[in-house]
Amino acid sequence: MKIIYTAVFTISILLVSCQDNSKQTTASSQQETTSTTEEHTTAQANQGEKLYQSVPLDTLMMLFQQCDYIDYVFYYTNFSVSQSNQSDIQQSLRYISENPPFIKEECKPQGHIFFQVNGDNRLEADLYFQAGCTYYVFYKDGKPAYANELMPSGIQFYNNIFQSVKQ
């Protein structure tokens, strides 16, 4: 009988000490999580925030099949560009990455793009195109709703446009 009491007493002590240790581990884990979250938040502040989801794939597919005109209006220049050739339009739509960008406060839009089907604007986007800011912010019902990074080929496309104007 003495052995049973000793065993129960020993198990009880182990359980109590394990609970104290798990509380310490939990507290330590929470401190690490808080620290990691703070570091991540600081890193995001330096690189921006992902404020919007990617434009829906069905919207891009609809444009790929139906869009017959794209109008690029640039804010700080004296020119605009338009496309009405189906293969050029489809190539321009391929410049849209599936990845939402990190949006930084210091980034300013360089232009506005209108994607049209039979003369109706089906999608609009602000173009952000400067060092560290290469993405579209798409509008829905007149308000920013989605955002996507530019593919490297899209960055080259806009570089070519701006270089041709400088010459």
The predicted-structure confidence for 101-113, as pLDDT tens digits, reads as follows 999 999 999 999 9
Residue keyed to tokens 């690490």:
32
Q: Which listed CATH number (2.60.40, 2.30.30, 1.10.132, 2.30.29) goes with 57-166?
A: 2.60.40
What pLDDT is stored for residue 10 in this prediction? 38
CB neighbour list of residue 147: distance below 8 Å, 6 or more residues apart: 50, 51, 52, 53, 54, 55, 100, 101, 103, 135, 136, 137, 138
Residue 166: per-residue pLDDT: 78
* Residue-level pLDDT at 165: 80
pLDDT tens-digit map of 128-147: 999 999 999 999 999 999 99
Q: Which residue has the higher pLDDT, 144 or 5?
A: 144
Q: How many CB atoms lie within 10 A of CB 13?
A: 10
Banded pLDDT at 167 (limits 50, 70, 90): low
Q: Is the pTM of this model over 0.75?
A: no
Mean pLDDT of the chain: 80
